[in-house]
Amino acid sequence: MLSFLDREKSVAPPGYSRWFIPPAALAVHLSIGQVYAFSVFKTPLVDRFDTTLTAIGVVFSISIVMLGLSAAFGGKWVERNGPRKAMFVSGVCWGTGFLVGALGVATGQLWLLYLGYGVIGGIGLGIGYISPVSTLIKWFPDRPGMATGMAIMGFGGGALIASPLSAAMLDNFAATPADAIVPAFLTLGAVYFVAMMLGSMTVKVPPPGWKPEGWEPKPTVTGGDLTTEGVTVERAFRTPQFWLLWIVLFCNVTAGIGILEQAAPMIQDFFANVGPAEAAGYVGVLSLCNMLGRFVWSSTSDALGRKRTYIGYLGIGCLLYLLIAVAGTGSIVLFVAVTGLILSFYGGGFATIPAYLKDLFGSFNVGAIHGRLLTAWSCAGIAGPLIVNVVADYQLSAGYSGADLYTLSLYLMVGVMAVGFIANMLVRPLSKGQIDQDEVAEPASSHQSA
Amino acid sequence: MEHNSANTAAKAAALFLWVVVIIALGYGVSRTALQAAALFTG
């Protein structure tokens, strides 16, 4: 019945321009990127359910945990079934999540919000996040950093769109924001569902053997071609290279969260003349840097090389954290510029990692391998805020105030960056012995059965 | 003929999506930039 979603039905005809593919990926990532604007709903939800911030915060946590789990376990399914089916499933889950969540809000049942936005929506997040990556890399094997940067920039951009839109809906859909949540959720769910269905219907995979005109892939150490073959997920999972990149992503994300988690209070503690409105403006600057870094640095990595790019993210990032720790209160311009650069590296780290995986493990299972690697994001999402908040509480109880509240966590982040830097330096291309030809995967199109 | 019309429809949909995506991103970036300006003018 749904055979139009099959991979074979989504093969592009000869001469189809690859530039028709990125908007499909962007439509999905801009939609699921809403999750980072969930905080707009937090206070109205607290009022609506007459509960605590912690109880509502659990909704976001569940969605991010489900993102990690579904990306990790759904990656192989995505590779086998193709981007069209994956984006379709993602859109159905993401839209349904809002629907079920709205039902929970309307009936006062918090567990339905956990189930809807958290579990079902979270599955949509994970499948949606990885669904276009593999396809974009296959269409742009000559510029994988730029291609994945475009899509993953969409995830950052999604929050920039959803935040003011959600605030406007909460202000205008009902007399109070608490009463406006249900129509806002229904509106967002419908809009995102349509956008993701459009993306699903327009995405296409390149024909077998397709490559950009004038481009030749680099041969592997075995003389093979990782762009037409590809290491299996199981094989990649057992290599030191995979785990070194896991550490790299974990450290880069943890360090970025070190700023993100405490951006607004931190700038107000560093500079006495900065009030809540300016602090909100600062958070806006960081959001823009995060989004732009995803596209700019990831695209730059095509010329610079992935390893050198991460030397920048982690090495320069380490020095920048040290600069804030030592001289952060000296100048607000310097503070904003330095933290903005760190956040651009945070975004760049997310966007560049699929291309790094493609360089090491080949194109054909990069989506599934990427899904497994995103468990680093889930772990950093727990570790980062934990480090920041535990240290802040400790510093408060020790009688510190102002900028001194953050010194210890800033130095800890210097250490985290240094660990990631070392892990990146240890990454080497796969050796002949690591690419066992028996385990080299065939192109996904040959996996399709009737 | 049917194949060509399906491809034309797919290209048209992709172009439409480009427009939607650019407008949506433009909205998000401009609203955030206005908010960010408060840091320098506030």
Where residue A229 falls among pLDDT bands split at 50, 70, 90? low
Asked whether the beta carbons of A105 and A46 are under 8 A apart, the reply is no
Where residue B42 falls among pLDDT bands split at 50, 70, 90? low
Q: Is the minimum CB–CB distance between A194 and chain B shorter than 8 Å?
A: no
Q: What are the pLDDT digits (tens) for A256-312?
A: 987 887 888 889 889 988 888 888 888 888 989 999 999 999 999 999 999 999 999
Instruction: Tell me what pLDDT residue A444 has.
Output: 44
Chain B CB contacts of A333 under 8 Å are none
Task: Give the minimum alpha-carbon distance from B26 to chain A in angstroms, rounded to a whole number.
Answer: 9
Instruction: Tell me what pLDDT residue A437 has.
Output: 52
Q: Alpha carbon of A414 to those of A254, A313, B36: distances in Å?
A: 11, 12, 27
Q: How much is the ipTM here?
A: 0.90
Once rounded to an integer, what is the mean pLDDT over residues A231-249? 93
Q: In chain A, what are the domains? A: 18-202 (1.20.1250.20), 233-439 (1.20.1250.20)
More confident residue, A314 or A10: A314
Measured CA to CA, the distance from residue A245 to residue A247 in angstroms comes to 5
Asked whether the beta carbons of B25 and A164 are under 8 A apart, the reply is no
Chain A, window 29-88: residues with a beta carbon less than 8 angstroms from a chain B beta carbon: 30
Q: Is the minimum CB–CB distance between A195 and chain B shorter than 8 Å?
A: yes
Q: What are the pLDDT digits (tens) for A366-425?
A: 889 999 999 998 888 888 888 888 888 888 889 988 888 888 989 999 999 999 999 999
Q: Could you tell me the two tokens for A168?
A: 């406007």
Percentage with pLDDT > 90 across chain B: 40
H or E element at residue A249: helix A240-260
Measured CA to CA, the distance from residue A226 to residue A228 in angstroms comes to 5
Could you state, in order of their start, the residue ranges of all structural domains in chain B? 1-42
Where residue A64 falls among pLDDT bands split at 50, 70, 90? confident
pLDDT higher than 70, residue A241: yes
Percentage with pLDDT > 70 across chain A: 93
| Cα torsion through A386, A390, A391, A396, rounded to 10 | 150
pLDDT higher than 60, residue A50: yes
Measured CA to CA, the distance from residue A247 to residue A193 in angstroms comes to 35
Instruction: Tell me what pLDDT residue A450 has.
Output: 27
pLDDT higher than 70, residue A446: no
**Chain mean pLDDT for chain A:** 89
Once rounded to an integer, what is the mean pLDDT over residues A183-192? 98
Once rounded to an integer, what is the mean pLDDT over residues A144-163? 92
Once rounded to an integer, what is the mean pLDDT over residues A51-66? 89
Once rounded to an integer, what is the mean pLDDT over residues A150-178? 92
- Hey, are the CB atoms on A24 and B17 less than 8 Å from each other? yes
Among A411, A415, A301, CA closest to A347: A301
Instruction: Tell me what pLDDT residue A330 has.
Output: 87
- Hey, are the CB atoms on B28 and A202 less than 8 Å from each other? no
Asked whether the beta carbons of A263 and A392 are under 8 A apart, the reply is no
Instruction: Tell me what pLDDT residue B35 has.
Output: 82
Instruction: Tell me what pLDDT residue A449 has.
Output: 30
DSSP A269-336: HH-TT--HHHHHHHHHHHHHHHHHHHHHHHHHHHHH-HHHHHHIIIIIHHHHHHHHHHHTTS-HHHHH
Q: Is the minimum CB–CB distance between A278 and chain B shorter than 8 Å?
A: yes
Measured CA to CA, the distance from residue A430 to residue A283 in angstroms comes to 40
Instruction: Tell me what pLDDT residue A101 has.
Output: 98
Measured CA to CA, the distance from residue A315 to residue A185 in angstroms comes to 42
Task: Give the minimum alpha-carbon distance from B39 to chain A in angstroms, rounded to a whole number.
Answer: 4
Q: What are the pLDDT digits (tens) for A338-362?
A: 999 999 999 999 999 999 999 999 8
Instruction: Tell me what pLDDT residue A67 has.
Output: 92
Q: Hey, which of A146-155, A179-188, A199-208 has the most confident mean pLDDT?
A: A179-188
- Hey, are the CB atoms on B25 and A157 less than 8 Å from each other? yes
